[in-house]
Each structure stands twice: as C-alpha cells, then as structure tokens.
A and B are shown apart, each in its own frame.
Chain A
C-alpha cells in the first residue's frame, strides 16, 4: 500500500539518495573504471574545494557571479514588471509588442554572447547584459498574462468602494498578480543562474563559470567538479530564498486554491 510519506522520511529520503550517489561515485573512482584525469574522486574534489576556499578564489568567484546575477536580474525585475503592467493594461500596445517580446523570449540569451563581447568587452557588463536578456522577456510575458487574468469584478469592487487610480494599482493589480509574478521570479532567477555560468565561460575573467572553464583549461577536473557542485548548491539556495516569498500570507491564495 502506498502511504503518505511522513515528515521525517521527507527529510531523510533525499539524504539517503545523496549519500547513495556519493557512494556510487566513490566506488566507480576506487574501481578505476575511468582514469582519475577524467573522473576525479570525491576526495580529490573535496581537496580541490578546500584549496580554492583557502586561496580565497572560490569566494571571489561566488561574489562575482552573484553580483552579476543580482544586477542583471534586478534590472530585469525593475523594468520587466512595469513594462508587463503597462502592456497588460493597454490592449493595443499589447497587440503591437507581444510578437516581438515572444521572439526575444524564444531566442536563447547565449546567442547574444558575440554581441555582448563586442559591445561591452569582457567582465561584468556583458554578463549582466546577458542575464538581463535572459530574464527580462519571460518576466514581461508573465506579468502581462497575470494582469490579463485579474477578474474584472475586483476592479468593480474597487470602484464601488472609491479606490483612486493609484490604489487600483497598489491595492488591486499588484496584490492580484503577486502569486503569478513570484512564480515567474523563481523561474527567471533559475534561468539567470544558468546563463551566468555560460556567459562567464566566454565573456568573463572571474566568476564561477570562468572558474570551471579555467579548471578545464588547466586540466584540473577536481576543481571543475567542485565548481559544478558549488554552482548547483547556490542555485538551490537562490530558489529556496525566492520560495520564501510564496509563504507570505497575502499570496498564499495563489498557491492553495
């Protein structure tokens, strides 16, 4: 019989799977199925991780990548949501702009890499640009859809109770779209984190993406894997932080209905 997993099993099961994966990894490397140069052992990766941590390079790379993601993603949020709100409220503008926005949304942000380097050189700027390009269009589209889905009766009620135009925006539109926008933020933040790694590999001189590219060039597979693990873990942490937004009482309705 299939029962509902208990709270403790919810916590221990993923841990068991993780330990199992590390065990298999250890066994494969102990049995020398692949040469050490292309399949580093967990111990080698741990040592590489400690080495990077001690030298301060790891922290620098994390800071560089997080700075770029925060800047590019922040810019996308502060421009994409207002643009989405405006388009959501103006049918003609929506008809005019949506095909173009859809086009850019479908275009992989990595296709912009050559132009990013041409226009902004190497460093923070091209990466920030690429992250912006990756997050802006999906955020606009999600906001437009959320605005279009607000039941019109909410605006009737707001009008009945004498809301001003500003209040319509702050007390009706924004809270009504909040759950959908938060979901979009989680998706686009994940996208931004994917893009930063790829962008730094080509257009960076620091950052986690650059670090694993550098490790590959130096044939340091232990550092490469250590970098990969750090990237994955930070990705999960970022999503966890944004997940906290969905716990705000006034947006729960969007997830519980």
Chain B
C-alpha cells in the first residue's frame, strides 16, 4: 500500500486535441500543504479533478485517498439549507444522531458561527460562507482537502483573514491539503511546498519550500522572500531588483516555459 495520500504517476491528460498534461508526476506527503500556482488555463483545476477522480487520466496512474473533500471556486453551498445543514452534509456517514450533533456543535464553535447556525447562505457574508464551505469539507473523517481557489471571490482583507482562519482550522484538524490558487501571496503564506506550473501542456517548472509554522504573517521575511522567488521564477520580478507588480500568476506563461 502506498503511503502517499495523493500521487500522480506519469500522468497525461487531454481535452480533445488539447494536451493539458504530458507525463506529469507529483507526489504529496501525508499532512503536507501543497499550493499549485500557474498561468490561467494551465490545468490547475484539472489537476484537482484528477486527484478527486472526477476526471480520468488519458495515461498514467492516479492514487488518491477515498476520504477526500473538495472546496470549489464558486459558491457551492446549498442555498436551500442552513449553515448547519450544509456542514452536516459532511457527517452523512455518521450513523448516530448524538454523535453528529456533537461534531456539528464543535465545528460551529471552531468556525465561530454558532449564532449563525440557522442562517441560510444568502444571509451570510462572503467570508462566513467560505468558513461554512471549509467546515463542510473538514468535518467528519476526511483526510485530504482539495481547495480550488477557495478565496478568490473575497475582498483582499477578508482573504487574508480567511488564510489565518484556514491555518487555525488545520491546526485543530490536520489534513493533507492541495490548494490551487492564482494568488501567490496566499500560496507563500499557507503552503509547505509551492509548485509552479508552466503553460499547457503543463509541467512543474519550479518548487519552493517554506519551512515556517502556520499561521504566518504576510510580511514575515520568509513569506516575502518566497513571494519574490515565485515572481522571479515567473519572470515578473528580477533577482536582486524589486519591481512593483501585482502578485498574481496571470499572463506568465512565456516566462515559465
């Protein structure tokens, strides 16, 4: 049995005639937090869809945990269910009602939304909705969390708050995490390892490790250095010289190939 909860072994994938991946290999360790950055349309979300087995590779092998949960880019809470009913979806496998109630209560406390348990998603702010999404994915016995640009629809400050929130939740409920994001700050502030993908057919053009406990401050020197390294890799900053750019990975394809 492979102890890697997530593994892509020499995987190729194509959408019709478009090659998204060719012979891509990537192993993710148990408990590791990996962020994937890269240009728009390079196949970041496809990578998650392969891990979640929503898509089958054209060639190669995908290994993934059965207890895997995904948080989507778009609002994916059921609007007809309250916050607690949405979170309780993650407890469907728990047979005993008392146990479900206990875990649900704990989760609502963890995300600090006890007083909003009976609210419907449209009655919550964007940040609160995202906390409910994370709670739904974290509750129960999942061990892998796939995050597809989970904070991209939030404003800048809420996004920073949500990063701290996620780090805090993961301290309580450790998981193996793959975060797909175009926000390089987010990747540097959260991940143990950052993978930079090239344009299609995507390959890993760089990997950076951040050896710093979470939660991390955005302005911590290691985080800033990592952001600089990634931007340099993407050709948006230059070694030893700081250029003012927006720290996103859009339009960086050429520099990476």
Give A residues with C-beta under 8 Å from B: 151, 153-154, 156-157, 160-162, 172, 175-176, 178, 249-254, 256-257
Q: Give Cα A254–Cα B79 distance, bound, in whole angstroms.
A: 8
Verify if B122 is at the interface (C-beta below 8 Å from A): yes
- Tell whether, in the assembled complex, residue B78 and residue A252 are in contact, meaning their CB atoms are under 8 Å apart: no
Q: Give Cα A160–Cα B137 distance, bound, in whole angstroms.
A: 10
Q: Give Cα A250–Cα B75 distance, bound, in whole angstroms.
A: 17
The count of residues in chain B whose C-beta lies closer than 8 Å to any C-beta of chain A is 19
Could you tell me the distance in whole angstroms from the C-beta of A198 to the nearest C-beta in chain B?
37
Q: Give Cα A253–Cα B54 distance, bound, in whole angstroms.
A: 29
- Tell whether, in the assembled complex, residue B120 and residue A252 are in contact, meaning their CB atoms are under 8 Å apart: yes
Give B residues with C-beta under 8 Å from A: 52, 54, 69-70, 72, 74-76, 78-81, 89-90, 92-93, 120-122
Complex A-B: 24 CB contacts under 8 Å: A151-B75, A153-B72, A153-B74, A153-B75, A153-B76, A154-B78, A156-B54, A156-B70, A156-B72, A156-B76, A157-B72, A160-B52, A160-B69, A161-B90, A161-B92, A172-B78, A176-B80, A250-B81, A250-B120, A252-B120, A253-B79, A253-B120, A253-B121, A256-B122
- Tell whether, in the assembled complex, residue B121 and residue A162 are in contact, meaning their CB atoms are under 8 Å apart: no
> Given contacts A249-B120, A253-B121, is CB(A157)–CB(B80) below 8 Å?
no
From B74, B75, B76, B93, A162 is in contact (CB under 8 Å) with B93
- Tell whether, in the assembled complex, residue A154 and residue B122 are in contact, meaning their CB atoms are under 8 Å apart: no
- Tell whether, in the assembled complex, residue A157 and residue B120 are in contact, meaning their CB atoms are under 8 Å apart: no
- Tell whether, in the assembled complex, residue B92 and residue A162 are in contact, meaning their CB atoms are under 8 Å apart: yes
Contacts of B122 in A (CB 8 A): 252-253, 256-257
Could you tell me the distance in whole angstroms from the C-beta of A58 to the nearest C-beta in chain B?
42
- Tell whether, in the assembled complex, residue B78 and residue A157 are in contact, meaning their CB atoms are under 8 Å apart: yes
- Tell whether, in the assembled complex, residue A160 and residue B70 are in contact, meaning their CB atoms are under 8 Å apart: yes
- Tell whether, in the assembled complex, residue B69 and residue A251 are in contact, meaning their CB atoms are under 8 Å apart: no
Q: Give Cα A156–Cα B80 distance, bound, in whole angstroms.
A: 16
From B76, B92, B93, A154 is in contact (CB under 8 Å) with B76
Could you tell me the distance in whole angstroms from the C-beta of A120 to the nearest C-beta in chain B?
40
Which residue of A has the minimal Cβ distance to B142? Answer: A160
Q: Give Cα A151–Cα B121 distance, bound, in whole angstroms.
A: 15
Q: Give Cα A257–Cα B69 distance, bound, in whole angstroms.
A: 27
What's the dominant secondary structure at chain A's contact region?
helix
- Tell whether, in the assembled complex, residue B92 and residue A175 are in contact, meaning their CB atoms are under 8 Å apart: no
Which residue of B has the minimal Cβ distance to A257? Answer: B122
Contacts of A251 in B (CB 8 A): 80
Contacts of A178 in B (CB 8 A): 80
Q: Give Cα A154–Cα B76 distance, bound, in whole angstroms.
A: 6
Contacts of A176 in B (CB 8 A): 78, 80
Which residue of A has the minimal Cβ distance to B123? Answer: A256
Which residue of B has the minimal Cβ distance to A251? Answer: B80
Could you tell me the distance in whole angstroms from the C-beta of B87 to the nearest C-beta in chain A?
11
Q: Given contacts A157-B89, A160-B52, A176-B80, list 18 more A-B pairs with CB under 8 A.
A: A151-B76, A153-B72, A154-B78, A157-B72, A157-B76, A160-B69, A161-B90, A161-B92, A162-B92, A162-B93, A172-B78, A175-B78, A175-B80, A249-B120, A250-B81, A252-B120, A253-B80, A257-B122
Could you tell me the distance in whole angstroms from the C-beta of A80 to the nearest C-beta in chain B?
22
Q: Give Cα A252–Cα B80 distance, bound, in whole angstroms.
A: 8
Q: Give Cα A70–Cα B158 distance, bound, in whole angstroms.
A: 51
Contacts of A256 in B (CB 8 A): 122
Could you tell me the distance in whole angstroms from the C-beta of B103 to the nearest C-beta in chain A?
15
Which residue of B has the minimal Cβ distance to A167? Answer: B92
Among B76, B78, B80, B90, residue most surrounded by chain A Cβ atoms (within 10 Å): B80
- Tell whether, in the assembled complex, residue A151 and residue B80 are in contact, meaning their CB atoms are under 8 Å apart: no
Contacts of B92 in A (CB 8 A): 161-162
Contacts of B79 in A (CB 8 A): 253-254, 257
Contacts of A161 in B (CB 8 A): 89-90, 92
Which 10 residue pairs of A and B lie closest in terms of their CB atoms, listed nearest first? A253-B79, A175-B80, A250-B80, A153-B76, A253-B122, A161-B89, A157-B76, A257-B122, A153-B74, A153-B72
Q: Give Cα A17–Cα B114 distance, bound, in whole angstroms.
A: 48
Q: Give Cα A241–Cα B120 distance, bound, in whole angstroms.
A: 24
Which residue of A has the minimal Cβ distance to B91? Answer: A161
Contacts of B76 in A (CB 8 A): 151, 153-154, 156-157
Which residue of A has the minimal Cβ distance to B146? Answer: A160
Q: Give Cα A256–Cα B79 distance, bound, in whole angstroms.
A: 11
Contacts of B70 in A (CB 8 A): 156, 160
